[in-house]
Each structure stands twice: as structure tokens, then as C-alpha cells.
Amino acid sequence: MSGINTEWVIEQLEDFLKATTVTYMPSPPSSIGFHSYKTASPEDEIVKKAQVVEQILDRIVPGWRTSIKKKDRQKWSIHYEASVRAKESLLRADEIRKNLGDDAPELSAAKFHPWIWSGAQSLWRSGHYRSAVEDAAKKLNAETQNKLGRRDLSETKLFQEAYSDKPAVPGKSRLRRAKNDGSDTFKSMQRGAMALAEGIYAGIRNPFNHEDPKDIDEQIALEYLAALSVLARWVDESEVEVA
């Protein structure tokens, strides 16, 4: 996986798996139903290791917190199974790509524009993909307002004003992706940014307010974040034109 120190990650996973391996503790004599499981390492040590392992699992096994069923009386069973999955995924990554014929480049949400990933990451890691996209869109809107110094408009109307090719006037600053020389290239770049923003907020963000509030597929959410990241980079790199 892109950007991952595979050797180090596998080492952390193996250490965690060793620490959370359980031993069956039968019920005391003359009793039934009081059996338990004892981990190889003390609880305090496991908690420390979990702080790192959870971040690894969020990257390699998205949705692990909700997709894996906890085993009875085994506190760390979800972490354990997710760690097994993560380790196997890394060890056999090349084999899987080769035999499934999938050598396409991977897209890492963590490498999206900081505005987008900072807005989405908390909810994304807990498997709330729709809400993650919504928060990323809100974050982009807020950062654009900050850059322009405007609070009177938001979302679609904000970007229509921001990337208008009309000159800036008092109270209406503009964003310029290129020098305003009146050329077709300048107008095209402005129109492209405006059109992308309109598509994102009209086609992605606004429907969330009216559709059944069920979650969306992870892949679809990732593609939505990618679109938001493109727009975020354009906004971040644009110059502000004031009257």
C-alpha cells in the first residue's frame, strides 16, 4: 500500500497479536458458566499497543470497528481479528494484485488536500462515510469563506461569486486561478472551477439534505472526497482579487 512502511506495520501487528492471544480459563470446580479468557499480556500493556494498532487498522481494514463481531468474554477479539486481516492483507498484497489482475494505482484519502481529510477523517475512521463527505464539504465551504472574507454566501452561490470573471467590487472579492488577462484560458479556468463547485454542491452535498439518510458505499464516498480535494486545491492555490 502506498506510503506504508510494511515491515514496521507487520511488526506492530505481530506484537499486538502476541499480546492479545487468549488462554481459556475454565469455570471453577463445581460451577458452570464462569469460564473466562486471559490475554498473554496485562491490560495496561495491551492498551498502549492498541493506541498504535488502531491507527494501522483504520488505514488497512476500513470499517473494522463495526464489521467484525465481538466474541463472548473476549474484550480484544475485534482488534485481534482485524489485526490478523491486516497482516494477511499486507503479506499477500502483491499476490492478490497479481492474481486478481488489479494493478491500478491506489487512492489514499489521507493524501487528499488537508482541508478535506481533516474534515472527514474522524467520521471516516468510524465508518460513517456519508457524514464524512458532508463534513468535508462544510470544511471546504468554511475555508473558502475565510479566504474571501465573506459570510453572506455559502456553497453554490459562494463559488459562483468567487470564480466569476467579473472584476472584484467592494464586499465581493474574487478568486483567480490564473492572471486575469481577459484571455480564453483565464475564462476557461474560472468557468471550470465554478462548474466543478456547482456540480459538487448541487449533485453531492444538497441531495444529502433531501434523500433518505442512509449511509453510502465506501468507494462512492472516496470518489466524492477526491472531487472535493480537487476543488480545495484550486481554492487554496487561487489568488484573491479585491476591489
In a domain, 59, yes or no: yes
Position 72 in a domain = yes
**Are both 233 and 115 inside the same structural domain?**
yes
Report how far apart, in Å, the C-alpha atoms of 150 and of each of 58, 154, 219 are. Answer: 36, 9, 33
Q: Are residues 38 and 119 in the same domain?
A: no
The residue segments making up the domain with residue 231 are 109-241
Of 77, 100, 123, the residue that ends a domain is 100
User: Are residues 233 and 133 both part of a single domain?
Assistant: yes
Q: Are residues 35 and 65 in the same domain?
A: yes
**Residue 66 is assigned to a structural domain of this protein:** yes
CB 21 within 8 A of CB 40: yes
Round the average pLDDT of the chain to a whole number and report it.
90
Are residue 135 and residue 236 in the same domain, yes or no? yes
Q: Is residue 122 in some structural domain?
A: yes
Contact present, 116 and 225 (Cβ < 8 Å): yes
* Statement to judge: residues 155 and 202 lie in one domain: yes
User: What's the whole-number mean pLDDT along residues 183-201?
Assistant: 94
Same domain, 93 and 117: no
Decide if pLDDT at 112 tops 90: yes
Residues 218 and 113 in one domain: yes
197 and 224 together in one domain:
yes
Q: Is residue 75 part of a domain?
A: yes
Look at residue 95 in the predicted model and tell me its pLDDT.
85
Same domain, 65 and 114: no
Listed residues 69, 100, 131: the one ending a domain = 100
* Pure H helices in 61-200: 64-67, 77-91, 93-100, 114-125, 129-148, 155-162, 184-200
Answer whether residue 165 is part of any domain: yes
Same domain, 118 and 154: yes
Predicted confidence (pLDDT) at residue 236 exceeds the cutoff of 60: yes
Residue 123 neighbours by CB under 8 Å, 6+ apart = 129, 131, 132, 135
Does any domain span residue 1?
no
Q: Write the DSSP symbol of residue 202.
A: I
- Cα 74 vs. chain centroid, distance in angstroms? 29
| Digit-coded pLDDT (tens) for 23-82 | 988 888 777 777 888 999 999 999 999 999 999 999 899 889 999 999 988 999 999 999
- pLDDT bracket for residue 96 (50, 70, 90): confident
pLDDT at position 108, please?
79
Last residue of a domain, one of 100, 127, 156: 100
- Specify if 186 maps to a domain: yes
Domains contained in the chain, number: 2
pLDDT at 1 over 60: no
Residues 96 and 113 in one domain: no
